Amino acid sequence: MAAAEEMVGFPQAYLESGEVKETSSLVTELCRHFYTQGWVSGTGGSITIKVHDASIPKPDQLIVMSPSGVQKERMQPEDMYILSPNGSVLSAPSPKPYPNKLPKCTDCAPLFMKAYEMRNAGAVIHSHGMESCLVTMLNPQAKEFRITHMEMIKGIQGHGYYDELVVPIIENTAYENELTDSLTKAIIAYPKATAVLVRNHGVYIWGDSWIHAKTQAECYHYLFDAAIKLHQLGLDAASPEHGPIQRAIHSQNQTESTRRCIVLDIEGTTTPITFVTDVLFPYARENVGKHLNLMYDTAETQEDIKLLRSQVEEDLRQGVTGAVPVPHADEGKDEVIAAMVSNVEAMIKADRKITALKELQGHIWRTGFQCNELKSVVFEDVTDALEKWHSSGTKVYIYSSGSRLAQRLLFGNTTYGDLRKYLSGFFDTTIGNKKESKSYKEITETLGVDDPSEILFVTDVYQEATAAKAAGLEAIISIRPGNASLPENHGFKTVTSFSQI
């Protein structure tokens, strides 16, 4: 193996160390395995792994990359390139006799480096697996791949069974390195993503370690294959029920005369997202320690701690980022509160829709409203619409991931006054996940209507509208400033104001 002249901080002896050799051997072993999976056939695809060394911070560790244009299943450890943390080549393989090509580092190198730099990855895999290529062709206009309610989603970092997995799709180019800019933009635009699909080409997948990257790659390929097969059956992978693909615009024949109840979401529907993200969440985050300290011995707070402890234990089992163990009560009040604060801050940052967090937030916000430190905001069209529906005899309910207490506080303390007189009830996630159709079936049973189509559900979230529709409800999507973009051809009626309902 020929060494480069510049090896700042990494002497030749380290380049020939056991750690580097083991990582090079691992790359060859994985490439042989990936070849059997069809991910790196025809010399396509590639893999890179950082040289793990506990004495060196991950951003400063050496990088091993496979070469370009070689038979991936026949590579040997001495064929690997060794790169510095900034991507410069420190060691390159020696040329081999004809018919082998002259050595060349993988064309994926600039893209691999982006995953290392922007996501602090420990390994990156580039696959040309057939399923990763075909799944981008199901809808040539789609800029995202979406799938939900599949067990293997749990193998993707930060996702659970009920979550929707979203993978950005970028357009292919003639040369691999020309993808760097669009991949960079996708990484920025999708901070939760651990993969980027390239249309008609393949996929880039990264993880904290080679094991994590490999595990996720296997799950991604399974989910891509599942989506293709569901599509062949005429079923929608992005629907919680995986029901028939909706090819027609949602029927608008249902008239207001048959509508007995309206169920409203809050964030992005009645209330600006910015009020939640820029006012309520920061208030809860900044006051959680103070609240727990002052109210620690009350039965309510002890129940909040019990719920959060149970959630954190589940998060730790699932490997959720940001979860830290909560000490037992006999280890001290201060220790318990410090752990609670750390977990709550991580949950708020990740916008977790979980009952334990929402209950505590509601209790913190109650204090804020009582002290006049908080005043809730609704869109200007909301008050008139609520009054109109109330006068016509249409019952209006709220269904939000926030606790029922938080909902009552929000509508009882708005800049337009107390709006609770127009509302008939409140639902939160104790009735079920908002992206699951059985939650809306439960609401239907609770409201006692003869037919679920007598209920209109208004939300800004496509997955929630899809779940409600699968349960038989009429669903409309609210388009408000700051709301997330919707999938193309989503098939739902949209409104920008309640006056249009």
**Binding site for Mg(2+): residue ranges?**
265, 267, 460
- Which candidate in 6, 16, 29, 151 is catalytic? 151
Q: Is 17 helix (H, G, I), strand (E, B) or coil?
A: coil
Question: Are the C-beta atoms of 124 and 194 separated by less than 8 Å?
Answer: no
Residues 6+ apart with CB under 8 A from 501: 262, 385, 456, 458, 476, 495
Return the sign of the alpha-carbon dihedral for residues 146, 151, 156, 158: positive
Q: Which residues pair with 302 in a beta bridge?
A: none
What is the C-alpha separation between 31 and 63, in angstroms, rounded?
16
Write out the binding residues for substrate: 108, 400-401, 434
Residues 6+ apart with CB under 8 A from 392: none
| 143 secondary structure, DSSP code | S
Write out the binding residues for Zn(2+): 126, 128, 201
Q: Which residues pair with 294 in a beta bridge?
A: none
Residue type, 115: A
Q: Is 316 helix (H, G, I), strand (E, B) or coil?
A: helix
Of 193, 147, 201, nearest to 174 by C-alpha is: 201
What is the C-alpha separation between 478 and 163, in angstroms, rounded?
21
Question: Are the C-beta atoms of 20 and 37 separated by less than 8 Å?
Answer: no
What is the C-alpha separation between 158 and 166, in angstroms, rounded?
12
Q: Is 391 helix (H, G, I), strand (E, B) or coil?
A: helix
380 has catalytic annotation: no
Token reading at 17: 């160390």
What is the C-alpha separation between 264 and 226, in angstroms, rounded?
33
3-state helix, strand, coil split of the chain in percent (to 5) is 45, 15, 40
How far CA 208 is from CA of 49, 68, 81, 115, 146, in Å, comes to: 10, 24, 21, 10, 23
| 422 secondary structure, DSSP code | G
What is the C-alpha separation between 196 and 108, in angstroms, rounded?
13
Q: Is residue 262 within a helix (H) or strand (E), and if so which, with residue range?
A: strand 261-264
Question: Are the C-beta atoms of 147 and 164 separated by less than 8 Å?
Answer: yes
Residue whose tokens read 């402890």: 309
Token reading at 274: 């910015």
Active site residues: 151
